[in-house]
Structure 1
């Protein structure tokens, strides 16, 4: 049952989200805040289609920031800096009761620092922690000067902020935990997981640059797997705006997968898949929640790889491993991401191997590890945003 609106004077909330995942988080947060504040709330800021459906008129289309790769970012720097300046100026001019920055720290944190310098009275909440536990840990301490509260999606992050002397941080939960029914198989789907030939998912990434780096080596690995006598069916989920890019890359593959388009068909494939070959990222956590053993890989450009090697401070870059606290998902990064190594690991995870059983057993613990009790993440996040607003009003 929805909470009754809080009787209050008008509240102005400014939100900044520049990627689709952040846009979805922002929309869920807006929905709960409107339930709590009723017609007294007014939203301004930057967001995408989901936030627009909740009533936000974005200051600019977030597609303008759909940039990946160091070279592409360098070319777009003048535009990026202009949008940072304009967004920060808009926040200061609006003088909201709270600023909520959502993910995309390279953009949103620069906005937040400018806002704090211009008007220290505006409280700032950071929804989705930057990966301070993985690289650039000094950011946590630096954030104290311009972030009042961090809303963490991962259960180990509050302790990382305490250890690194960052701002207050609360675990609110990952939105994927609200979607378990669409990820986990029913009886017939579970039976398909164990019926030969096994169904193998291929997930090369959600951006064109990621697809460019992964498709060739993934195709070669799958060709080797087939040629070694392993039988399997292949499904490649993608999104409508990437379908043409995927189709072009598949022209070089020695075998052709079934392509499914859209989130609903992707989830249906997750429910019947026996294993997956996935680009490192949030999708590894999605697969773990779905109970699908996987092989994870990541390739990037030489410049980015050089930087990441020197910056990363964790024993694994696989999100599923970090949440579970154990490196059960095999990872193949950069020069280790070869057709031979991927094919061997896939053969293991498709069969009844020790590697596969370790993953299945570890994934069974993930509900307990990521539990938020009876409150969904968007409600927990909204509660902290409202508390931060009220604290600022009292101290002001």
Structure 2
């Protein structure tokens, strides 16, 4: 009897942890006990059998200057990950998102085992900045699993075979999300205005954005004391968010991962830190305002290389500013309160923005096959092709 296929999955933050767990489930569905997993990940991947030797939360780094400060730690974790690959001798490695960490791991593993299939799941956003990264990735890995059709040409031109698998965020099942039930559980009247705040999933995002959001919500509450406020906390930062929100001088409904989609359905409008959550809110039909801040020096460096007109994916797909976006100093409490207030107080404007958000999701590939299933198929094809090439060689 042949030994099980051993696949190493490497993820360094919450979104990658979710992708890795979905991929593991899809591979196990195909292979059953004929596949085992090793690697680096968070709690979702751990539930699928990936026992990580360290907590990935420390790798969730935001901004260039912050990255430089953490360079020593990242270098150590790269070495540990490469050593894990050397010990475990996997049949293939899938490196998920987190460009700065995973590209270094890929290069270290490639140097040690040139023939090992390396697959990148989610490429760097070269359409937004630093297109030379496409060539860097093409030298380091054998195949890319891209989320969106507009990603593929950038990498294929660099000689990297690419499979567009779609975004799992576009496949969130909102059918069971019940906004009315959420309001009933929290004692929120059916006709009350409810603002949902989503401060992010990284520690640095929580530290930077929650004070801004508190100040913005304070202004909105001063204008309308009846406004209900909910804050959704990603699992990786739930304790941090809960501690910060507990000090806010007004009542807040704290929402965990299990209730997040119910809260999205229930919300009149949302104020969110840029990320995957914007796609989920659009699927829920919730009009939103997007904000983002990083370190001042990191932002000055970023401005020199970023060419994208938008940061929200459905805005990028539609090539228009459907959801308002406010970056760095523009994301002031005054401006955020004013812009969110329009959505809360103008039902027609809110409904029109929600409609346009939903339409833009079709441009991103909504309605396609399950991304985890497509990713699993692609991984197995790459392994089979590499095996055949090795046999011929």
Normalising by structure 1, what TM-score?
0.87
- For 1:135, the equivalent position in structure 2 comes to 129
Q: 1:171 aligns with which of 164, 173, 176?
A: 164
Q: How many residues in Structure 1 have an aligned counterpart in Structure 2?
A: 388
Rate the CA distance shift 1:30–1:241 in 2: closer, same or farther, 3 A.
Answer: closer
CA distance in 2, matches of 1:290, 1:23: 23
Q: Which moved more, 1:166-175 or 1:265-274?
A: 166-175
Q: Residue 118 of structure 2 aligns with which residue? A: 124
Deviation at 1:267? Answer: 1.6
- Comparing 46-55 with 97-106, greater Cα deviation is found at 46-55
Question: Could you tell me which of 189, 194, 198 is aligned with 2:193?
Answer: 198
User: In the aligned structure 1, how far is the partner of 2:115 from the partner of 2:38?
Assistant: 18
Structure 1 residue 34 displacement after superposition: 2.2
Aligned ranges 1:45-56 → 2 under 5 Å: 45-56=39-50
SS in 1 for 2:323: coil
* Cα deviation digits, residues 26-65 of structure 1 (max 9, x gap): 1221222223223332322222222222222324332443
Gaps of 5+ in 1: 1-6
2:219 to 216, 224, 227: 224
Let me know the Cα RMSD of the aligned residues. 3.0
- In the alignment, the residues of structure 2 paired with residue 208 and residue 231 of structure 1 have an alpha-carbon distance, to the nearest angstrom, of 31
1:18 shift after superposition = 1.9
What displacement does 1:72 show? 5.0
Deviations 1:134-170 (A, max 9, x none): 12111012211112211122342223434x5351222
Deviation at 1:353, TM superposition (A): 6.2
Q: Residue 57 of structure 1 aligns to a residue in which SS? A: coil
Contact 1:197 1:233 in 2 (8 A): yes
8 Å contact from structure 1 (residues 216, 252) kept in 2: no
- Distance verdict in 2 for CA 1:230–1:347, change over 3 Å: farther
| Equivalent position SS for 1:222 | helix
Deviations 1:295-335 (A, max 9, x none): 11112221121122112110011223123432101111111
Match of 1:4 in 2: none
Superposition map of 1:145-294 within 5 A: 145-162=139-156, 165=158, 167-181=160-174, 184-185=177-178, 196-229=191-224, 231-239=226-234, 242-250=237-245, 253=248, 255-260=250-255, 262-294=256-288
| Per-residue Cα deviation, 1:198-226 (whole angstroms, up to 9, x for no partner) | 11111122233212212222222222233
What is the CA–CA distance in structure 2 between the aligned matches of 1:47 and 1:248, rounded to whole Å?
A: 25
Cα distance 1:217–1:374, how it changes in 2: closer, same or farther (>3 A)?
closer
Deviation at 1:395, TM superposition (A): 1.1
Change (3 A) 1:334 1:374: closer
Per mean C-alpha deviation after superposition, the further-off stretch among 8-17 and 325-334 is: 8-17
Tell me if the contact between 1:95 and 1:122 (Cα under 8 Å) persists in the aligned partners. Answer: no
Q: Where do 5+ consecutive residues of structure 2 fail to align? A: none
Contact 2:57 2:236 in 1 (8 A): no
For residues 101-160 of structure 1, what are the alpha-carbon distances to aligned partners after superposition, in whole Å with 9 as ceiling and x for unaligned? 111111111111122222221111111222222121110122111122111223422234
**For the Cα contact (< 8 Å) 2:65–2:295, is it kept in 1?**
no
CA–CA separation in structure 2 for the residues paired with 1:211 and 1:389: 39
State whether residues 183 and 289 of structure 1, in contact with CA within 8 Å, keep that contact through their aligned partners in structure 2: no
User: TM-score of the superposition, structure 2-length normalised?
Assistant: 0.88
Offset, 1:179: 2.1
Deviation at 1:355, TM superposition (A): 4.7
Bigger mean CA offset, 211-220 vs 153-162: 153-162
The 1:247/1:101 distance shift into structure 2, 3 A limit, reads: closer
Instruction: Provide closer, same or farther for how the CA distance between residues 345 and 374 of structure 1 changes in structure 2, counting only shifts above 3 A.
Output: closer
Q: Taking structure 1 as reference, are residues 79 and 214 closer, same or farther at Cα in structure 2, changes over 3 Å only?
A: closer
Q: How does 1:267-346 map to 2 (within 5 A)?
A: 267-346=261-340
Question: 4+ residue stretches of structure 1 with deviation over 6 A?
Answer: 186-194
Partner secondary structure for residue 181 of structure 1: coil
Distance, in Å, in 2 between the alignment partners of 1:14 and 1:195 is 48
